[in-house]
Structure 1
Amino acid sequence: MKKLLIYFLGASETVTGSKFYLHSEEIKILVDCGLFQGVKELRKQNWESLPVDASQMDYVLLTHGHLDHCGYLPLLVRQGFRGKILGTAPTLEIARIILEDSAKIQEEEAERANKEKYSKHDPALPLYTKQDVAFTLKFFEQVEEGEEISLSDHCSVTFLYNGHIIGSTYLDMDLYGKRFVFSGDVGRQNDELLNPPKQPEWADYLFVESTYGDRDHPEENVGQILMELVKETLHKKGILIIPSFAVERLQSLMYQLWKLYKKNKIPNIPIFVDSPMGNNVLEVFKAFPSWHKLTPEEYRNMYNHINIVSSYAETWETIDDPRSKIVIAGSGMVTGGRVLTYIKQLADLDSTSILLVGFQAEETRGRKLLEGATELKIYGKYVPIKAKVHHLESLSAHADQSELLRWMGSIKNVPEKVFLVHGEKSAMEAYKEKIQQKLGWHCHIPKMHEVVEVIL
């Protein structure tokens, strides 16, 4: 008999900060290593060391490259981690881009806070630096999708395609003859850019995301909604600001708008993409064509249709440009990035529209806009919001309740334990009931820092 301890160090009764630590005598594995976003009490945990010894860990396994799944890696390395960080080639490339961008933003915001004296901390410091990221990248090691990898005598893992974003996978791990399945973030069945997720066939211990565990995405005609917003923007001689995640969502929006233009559904309104990270991710799509549906020709035509903003000086030129236009800028939950400059300068105008796309975590600026906020705090000052706010949920990169149930439905056995993670508590509770009703499986919702003992 072997004892395994499972530590839930993030994405427990909340959506962000994914970290699941498996501790056995033979091997010690961290599945994902994400930053907390949104709620201040959670964000404060980003500054704290983990309650486990990072120097003991043999591996970090990355399901995909989003910040809430990889953004804590430089801090883990700072705490003594010297093992291997495994992920698919596109995941490691996305993680590199996101970590470098995250460090750059943190350094810039610390510098701005010190200059304008709006931080409580003196001096304000970045969470980590570009130098920290450069050192972290030395531990990256690429794996092939679908190939079983031996991690120790009694442990192997396979990374399997699950949509969501380019490079994204779920993990199928064999540990002492038991099957541990970590869903990561499950993608959509009918995604414009990505193929449907592969599905697990067996799971003794299942860790499944529940971001949209309480609901299905609405049946929205995305093209029609975008057409109407473009028409309204032109009529008001204004600007349509679309805060967007740099990975997959931004490319999906570009594709949707290019497709509408190609079919003469919208006029040739200038479209600006202002996301250095998003621009880099476009190169990942170009480099890994087998991971998405776009042909090289479609990619090239779409890219040529968009105005790429490459410098902060060009951000201001775009703001000062008097033409009606669409600006897609990071970040998707309005937590940082170039979109803050556009909102700070233009959201107090009636002619401005803001389109939120996908999930907005608790206490993010995106969620506040969604809930009707009339002002937002940006760089220490309150900005009035007169812009009309719209929301498109069906462009989410996360599977909804029905799609999650379908993904799990291929499992042939009854798992010994099902852990619901990566969701707000209300979504998890609703999903727990649905799983019990549909599959007859009992689920557990772990609390933050809960430790579960498993005898193998």
Structure 2
Amino acid sequence: MTFLGAVGTVTGSRFLLEGPQTRALVDAGLYQGLAVHRRRNWDPFPADPAGLDHVLLTHAHLDHIGYLPRLVKDGFRGPVTCTRETAELAAIVLRDSAHLQEEDARYANLAGFSRHDPALPLYDSRDVERALGLLSPTSYDTRVAVGPDTDAVLRPAGHILGSATVEVRMGEHRVVFSGDLGRGHHPLLQPPADPPPADTIVVESTYGDRTHPPADPQVLADAITRTVERGGSVLVPAFAVDRTELVLLEIRRLMDQGLVPEVPVHVDSPMALASLDVYRDAAARGGSQLRDSARTLMAALDGRNVHAVRDVAGSERLNNPSSPCIVISASGMASGGRVVHHLAQQLPERRNCVVLTGYQAEGTRGRQLADGARQVKIHGRYVPVRAEVVDVPDFSVHSDAEETLQWLGRAPQPPRTVYVVHGEPRSAEALAGRIADELGWTAVVPSYGERVLLD
């Protein structure tokens, strides 16, 4: 196994498995955040993409699927196994990714701020369509042939719709990849399935050095109320997949209970709106990964005051709203998408408020805002931060250190080795230490490009 991503960072998940007869990649994620990491997206892939037999995807977030079109551009033609919902969401996420990259390249060439002449996208829409044609959806708990000596099983991970842990059986060796683990109280999804027997476990550590604080809905309620009273607007950078749904549900609850003023709520993200439709369809179908209440909860999103913004002109009007409102827009780390234009216009105004609702990776604007930046760089210019910035951790759908240890502890047997990935260095080291101390297992934080034997 070679660690080609999600080591020393939470982005770019890529794990290469090589056996006597099979070469498979678990996740094909895009690097985001720090420039030193983003540049790896442009590096030649360490293995010939045309020589890969199979790709297995844990879920549809960009840091787990966003590199797939580049693999296809460079020659990969094998099957890509994932759940049905991951396939549906991947189509939305990857098409949006290609569009944004094409637009960014076009704008960079027009404005002349790129160091490359001409600026080019990492991949384009044609590459995405070829990649989507390779997706091979499967059901949970169904064994899938990966190669002559290799098979795999996907099980619910409880992180977002369609998310999965991946068990790969290569010869006699069993490797389990946690992907991104969810929590026990997601409003729509069941908790993660327990890990199966494994010789090796590769586990995420996004929150490996901390425990989520108890939920405090009053933080969001107070932020909305304060902002509306001073005549401002609330801007919520939110991940288009899953986070927008959860934020909408909570705002609807607060308004129904009279805890915040009734103001218009604008969902300004075509990708988020398309993802909402996938969630609605899944709730209507039912399924083992969804809670019984999912259908009722999703119906609540169609209530009063929620406005879908699909066109560019409508989005531009939200740069400077004429009256108090709430704008939910992607991306969740403010690293791209329509929310960046809103930030450029709204951050300088003290009456406004920016509410952060998820993990903010190093090197992103969201992280800078969370850390108290007085200015952020947007489209080549520095924008002063005068708006109020509020961090609301209640919406996290990543397990924290305690929850991850509990998930590992439910394994039916101790693995030989646990590799701790998908975390910043402090988080990964902290979780590895606790695994060793509390479970008595061998826990290792691998380095980028490190290759280990599985036997």
TM-score with structure 2 setting the length: 0.96
Show the counterpart of 2:68: 73
Cα separation, partners in 2 of 1:159 and 1:369, compared to 1, 3 Å? same
Query: Which residue of 23, 31, 34 maps to 2:26?
Result: 31
Show the counterpart of 1:226: 220
Query: Which residue of 244, 259, 264 maps to 2:258?
Result: 264
Show the counterpart of 1:3: none
Structure 1: state its 5+ residue gaps.
Answer: 1-5
- Asked if structure 2 preserves the Cα contact closer than 8 Å seen for 1:32 and 1:70, the reply is yes
Show the counterpart of 2:275: 281
Show the counterpart of 1:376: 376
- After superposition, the C-alpha distances for 1:104-157 in whole angstroms (9 at most, x for unaligned) are 011111111111112122211111111111111111111111112232343221
Q: How many angstroms apart in 1 are the aligned matches of 2:120 and 2:74?
A: 17
SS across alignment from 1:394: helix
Cα separation, partners in 2 of 1:217 and 1:297, compared to 1, 3 Å? closer
- After superposition, the C-alpha distances for 1:75-114 in whole angstroms (9 at most, x for unaligned) are 1111211100110010011111111001101111111111
Range moving further from structure 2, 140-149 or 152-161: 152-161
Q: How many angstroms apart in 1 are the aligned matches of 2:168 and 2:16?
A: 13
Identity rate, percent: 39
- Asked if structure 2 preserves the Cα contact closer than 8 Å seen for 1:49 and 1:79, the reply is no
- Asked if structure 1 preserves the Cα contact closer than 8 Å seen for 2:195 and 2:411, the reply is yes
TM-score with structure 1 setting the length: 0.96
Query: Which residue of 114, 118, 121 maps to 2:116?
Result: 121
Number of residue-to-residue matches in the alignment: 449
Cα separation, partners in 2 of 1:359 and 1:218, compared to 1, 3 Å? same
| Structure 2 residue identity aligned to 1:383 | V
Q: How many angstroms apart in 2 are the aligned matches of 1:28 and 1:78?
A: 18
Range moving further from structure 2, 154-163 or 182-191: 154-163
Asked whether 1:7 is paired with 2:28, we answer no
Show the counterpart of 2:204: 209
Show the counterpart of 1:252: 246
SS across alignment from 2:453: strand
- Asked if structure 1 preserves the Cα contact closer than 8 Å seen for 2:264 and 2:307, the reply is yes
- After superposition, the C-alpha distances for 1:44-99 in whole angstroms (9 at most, x for unaligned) are 11111211111111110000000000000011111211100110010011111111
SS across alignment from 1:273: strand
SS across alignment from 1:266: coil
RMSD: 1.3
Q: How many angstroms apart in 2 are the aligned matches of 1:449 and 1:333?
A: 26
Show the counterpart of 1:422: 422
SS across alignment from 2:80: strand
Stretches (4+) displaced over 3 A:
291-298
- After superposition, the C-alpha distances for 1:296-350 in whole angstroms (9 at most, x for unaligned) are 4542331243111111100122234311111111001110001001110111000
SS across alignment from 2:318: helix
Query: Which residue of 183, 191, 195 maps to 1:196?
Result: 191
Q: How many angstroms apart in 2 are the aligned matches of 1:406 and 1:243?
A: 31
Query: Which residue of 129, 143, 151 maps to 1:148?
Result: 143
Q: How many angstroms apart in 2 are the aligned matches of 1:80 and 1:266?
A: 53
- Asked if structure 2 preserves the Cα contact closer than 8 Å seen for 1:20 and 1:31, the reply is yes
SS across alignment from 1:288: helix
- After superposition, the C-alpha distances for 1:371-430 in whole angstroms (9 at most, x for unaligned) are 111111111111111111111123111000011011111112221111111011111111
| Structure 2 residue identity aligned to 1:123 | P
Show the counterpart of 1:391: 391
| Structure 2 residue identity aligned to 1:288 | A
- Asked if structure 1 preserves the Cα contact closer than 8 Å seen for 2:73 and 2:123, the reply is no
Q: How many angstroms apart in 1 are the aligned matches of 2:231 and 2:67?
A: 42
Q: How many angstroms apart in 1 are the aligned matches of 2:196 and 2:454?
A: 21
Show the counterpart of 1:327: 327
Q: How many angstroms apart in 1 are the aligned matches of 2:414 and 2:189?
A: 29
Show the counterpart of 2:412: 412
Show the counterpart of 1:439: 439
Q: How far off is 1:431 after superposition?
A: 0.7
- After superposition, the C-alpha distances for 1:207-228 in whole angstroms (9 at most, x for unaligned) are 000111111111131x211211
Range moving further from structure 2, 344-353 or 194-203: 194-203
| Structure 2 residue identity aligned to 1:334 | A
Structure 2: state its 5+ residue gaps.
Answer: none
Cα separation, partners in 2 of 1:348 and 1:203, compared to 1, 3 Å? same
- Asked if structure 1 preserves the Cα contact closer than 8 Å seen for 2:238 and 2:357, the reply is yes
Q: How far off is 1:295 after superposition?
A: 4.2
Query: Which residue of 2, 11, 15 maps to 1:16?
Result: 11
- Asked if structure 1 preserves the Cα contact closer than 8 Å seen for 2:109 and 2:119, the reply is yes
